[in-house]
Structure 1
Amino acid sequence: MASLKCIRNKIQSAFILYSNANACKLTVPHKMMSQYPSYYISPIYNKDIQSAMTKAGETQKLAHIPTRAALIDQTCSLTHDPEVSLMINYIMKDGNKILARSLMEKTFENIKRIQIQKYHKCETEEDRAAIILNPRIIFHEAVDNCKPLMYLTPIKRGGVKYQVPVPISDKRAQFLSMKWLITAAKEKDSTVRFAYQLALELIDAANNTGRVVKKKQDLHKQCEANRAYAHYRWS
């Protein structure tokens, strides 16, 4: 009987039952949810990091350490770009990733066509050298140019809500940059394709011009105008 009580107590401590008005939810501790034990290390799938570790002689230390399996989006392909994959996920709607990936590929194709046309219209070699023909470089520059440094958050003090400027994290800034680019590409005429409009927005943002860059600058101006409320962030 004592052993049965001990087993019952262990089961009750491992599984906690929460009851709602609709149904009961069974919550399992975090350690039981993990597929791998805590001493398993994350895989190193980047070839550049692998070559650097090989030169430093650190690969022998990891030879006999258990390693987790790589995730589906972790690949050593040379064409893999984490930011491009993230942009595809933001474009995706209703789980149709094939369509989102094809739209991104058409966007890069349109960027290449537009830049090549500009390249052939240039008369001097200096002007041609200033034109970037790689769509991925244009994409990364556009995302970096659209990232805001601060944003406004509502904070209530004395029954009044103030728009307080606060610094923004890198992950949030990247999300807002990509979201603004996608939203600007959707605001188009019915005769213009989404991939072509997104290509134009990326080229403008890479040149530090366009609607998305103006939106970022307007946000910074609002943060500058509301700098008198910055002390509410800590109060």
Structure 2
Amino acid sequence: MCATKVLFSRCFAVSKLNTPILSYIQQNSMSVYPNYYIEPIYRKETQQELVKTGEISKYSHIPTKATLNGQTCSDSYDPVIALFTNYVMRQGLKALAREQMDKCFENIKRLQLEKYHKCTTEEEKLKIELDPKKVFHEAINNSKPLLQLTGVKRGGVRYQVPMPITDRRSEFIAMNWLVDAGKEKDRKVRFAMQLARELVDASNNTGKVVKRKQDLHRQCEANKAFAHYRWS
């Protein structure tokens, strides 16, 4: 009789645990949210667009995930700068990476102001961008490659085949190139200053990173005869 009670209690416990949420957690153990939870909409611009289109009412009763620490609706928050800060970060030292980025933007401001005060005409002054964030975004856009070389083996020979890449991959490559260029310095130049110089040069479509992108495009142009191996 006791064994029957124990068996019944075990079966009852298993039946209680068999819920949709627990079954989802068992299938997707890396997430604490069920699959019907949506990503949080924390940007004011996106919220205003939803209000204008009238789609904001669709999200009133839909379960939403909690926002992360870095997700904020502050006007000073920039997702591209936050992503670049993560690429600069080493060994989890996020505070140090943010400090380096703040110094970098300060150096960009100083470099641009020096050029601004050296100008003699108003037309030359208008061409100089004094906002460090705009200089940063322009540098990222000018550093993005359109193609990349991928090794494809055909007949025992490995060919370097040019292939188009997505915008996300292109942004990733450009940011890594800029970080690597910031590290190429001597002991007299700090990382923040070297990175600021590279960003200013890239915003003017010059510098090491832009040259690296152009060299990659030349290699892709030289290997365009192997482009058909992409589909074979």
Same topology, TM > 0.5:
yes
What is the CA distance between 1:107 and its match in structure 2?
A: 0.3
The aligned amino acid for 1:163 is: Q
- Structure 1 residues 91-139: Cα deviation after superposition (integer angstroms, max 9, x where no partner): 1111111111100000000000111111111111111111100000000
Aligned partner of 1:29 among 27, 38, 41: 27
Query: Who is 1:69 aligned against?
Result: 66
**Bigger helix share:** 2
- Structure 1 residues 2-36: Cα deviation after superposition (integer angstroms, max 9, x where no partner): 9889x6xx99xxxxxxxxxxxxxxx9422x54322
- Structure 1 residues 173-206: Cα deviation after superposition (integer angstroms, max 9, x where no partner): 1111011111111111111111001000000000
Question: Quick one: distance in 1 between partners of 2:174 and 2:211?
Answer: 12
Aligned partner of 2:200 among 203, 207, 228: 203
Instruction: Kindly indicate whether residue 124 of structure 2 is the aligned counterpart of residue 131 of structure 1.
Output: no
Q: What is the aligned residue count?
A: 217
What is the CA distance between 1:72 and its match in structure 2?
A: 2.0
Q: CA RMSD in A?
A: 2.2
Closer, same or farther: CA 28–57 of 1 in aligned 2, 3 Å: closer
Q: Which runs of 5+ in 1 are unaligned?
A: 12-26
Query: Who is 2:48 aligned against?
Result: 51
Question: TM-score normalised to the size of structure 1?
Answer: 0.86
Query: Who is 1:40 aligned against?
Result: 37
What is the CA distance between 1:73 and its match in structure 2?
A: 2.0
Q: What fraction of aligned residue pairs are identical, expressed as a percent?
A: 57
- Structure 1 residues 48-90: Cα deviation after superposition (integer angstroms, max 9, x where no partner): 1112222333323322222221122211011111111111111
SS in 2 for 1:59: helix
SS in 1 for 2:152: strand
Query: Who is 1:161 aligned against?
Result: 158
SS in 1 for 2:55: coil
Question: Quick one: distance in 2 between partners of 1:55 and 1:165?
Answer: 43
Q: Which runs of 5+ in 2 are unaligned?
A: 19-24
- Structure 1 residues 139-185: Cα deviation after superposition (integer angstroms, max 9, x where no partner): 00101101000010111111111101111111111111011111111
- Worse-matched range after superposition: 181-190 or 210-219: 181-190
The aligned amino acid for 2:127 is: A
Question: Quick one: distance in 1 between partners of 2:226 and 2:53?
Answer: 51
Question: Quick one: distance in 1 between partners of 2:138 and 2:100?
Answer: 19
